[in-house]
Structure 1
Amino acid sequence: MGKYLLGLLLLSSCAALNATPLTFGSGVDEQALTQVSTILATPKAYVGKQVTIRGVVTNVCEKRGCWMTVKSDQQFQELYIKVPDGEMVFPLSARGSEAIVTGKLAEVSLSLEKSRDYLAEQAKSQGKAFDVASVTQPIDIYQLRPSGVKILD
C-alpha cells in the first residue's frame, strides 16, 4: 500500500511539473493581446511597437530553436517569431502548443530572390500553384522579435 501511494505521489508530481508553462525572456503582457490578423492587416502601424500575441506554434527551428511560427486567428496566416541564436531556445516539443509572445514587430526587406523563395514556400504550405517568374519586385515581411515568450501545455 505504501509503495502504491508513493508511486501515485510521484506520478502526480510529474504531471504537475509537465503542466507548468515554459517561459523565456522577461515575461509576457497577457493583458495587452492583439490578434495576429489585426497586426498583419496593417503591419506598418505596428512596426517598432511592443505587441502581445497568442496562438498555436506551427513550426520551430530544428537546428537552434531560434525561431518559431505562431498561427493566426485567420486561416493561412502565421507570424514569424525570431530571436538571435542562443538568446532563447524554443523546443521542438512546442509545436502544437499554444504560445503567448510579447515583443516588437520588425519589418524585414527581402531581396528579389529571397522574396521568390518566401512566396513559393507560402504557396506550397497553402496548397496553391505558384509561378516564381510572377514575382518581379522584392517584398517586405514582418516578424516579431520577442522579449518574452510563454509556451502553454
Structure 2
Amino acid sequence: MKNVLGVLLFAGLFFACKETVKDPVNESPATEQTESAAPEVTYVPFGDTITTDHADAIEKISRTYHNLTVGDSLNIKMTAKVNSVCQAKGCWMKLDLGNEEEVMVKFKDYAFFVPKNISGKDVIIEGVAFVDEMSVEDQKHYAEDAGKTEAEIAEITQPKRTYSFLADGVLLVEKQ
C-alpha cells in the first residue's frame, strides 16, 4: 500500500510541476483566428438530391454556353451566384453568367421552388443547359414576375436568344 501511495504522490508531483512555455515570437494569433474564423458551409437542398462533387465554376460554363446553338443541350452541374428570383412564387431564378449575361433557370416538372430572398447567394445546380429563343410574350411574363415597371415591360419587342437551364436539383449555399 505504501508503494502505491508513493508512486501516486510522485506522479502527481511530476505532472503538477511540468510547465508549458510558449514562445511569443513563433506564436501567431492570426493563424488561430484564421482557423476558427472560417465559416462552416452547409447546403439547403431543393428538388432532387444532388451532391457538391464535380460542380463546374460558372466561368467554364459560360464558355460552354457560348459554343451551344439553339436546340443544343448538355447535362451539367455548376456553381453560380443568384441575380434574381421570381417574386411571385420562386418558380425561376436567374444566375450570373458574367459579362452582364444571365442563365434563366427553371425547375424540372415545376416540382419545386426556391426562396424568393436568395438574390446574391451562391447555388449549385444540376440539370440540362441549353440555348433557347424566348418569345416576346414569355419575356414580358418573366419581366412582370421579376417586378419590372410597365415602361420596362413595354420596351420588350423582339424575341431574344437566352441561356437556359432546367434544374433537377438545387443546393443553396449557407455559411454559418
- On whether the aligned pair clears a TM of 0.5, the verdict is yes
- Unpaired segments of 5 or more residues in structure 1? 1-17, 125-130
1:33 and 2:51 matched:
no
Task: Give the Å deviation of 1:105.
Answer: 1.9
Question: Which amino acid in 2 is paired with 1:147?
Answer: D
Measured in 2, the distance between the counterparts of 1:22 and 1:102 equals 14
Change (3 A) 1:46 1:30: farther
Q: For residues 46 and 100 of structure 1, what CA distance do their matches in structure 2 show?
A: 24
Comparing both structures, which one devotes a greater share of its residues to strand? 2
SS, match of residue 145 in structure 1: strand
Matched ranges for 1:1-40 at <5 A: 20-24=42-46, 25-28=48-51, 30-33=53-56, 35-40=60-65
Task: Give the Å deviation of 1:115.
Answer: 8.3
| Aligned residues: CA RMSD | 3.3
- TM-score using structure 1 length: 0.62
The answer to whether the 8 A contact 2:70-2:130 is kept is no
Post-superposition Cα deviations, 1:70-115, rounded to whole Å, max 9, x if no partner, equal 112x22011111026751111023211111111112443333x348
In the comparison of the two structures, how many residue pairs are matched?
122
Runs of at least 5 residues in structure 2 that lack an aligned partner in the other structure: 1-39, 149-154
Distance in 1 (CA, whole Å) between partners of 2:65 and 2:87 is 25
Residues 104, 164 of structure 2: 8 Å contact kept: yes
Cα distance in structure 2, aligned partners of 1:100 and 1:46: 24
Question: Is residue 43 from structure 1 mapped to residue 68 from structure 2 by the alignment?
Answer: yes
Q: Distance in 1 between matches of 2:104 and 2:139?
A: 17
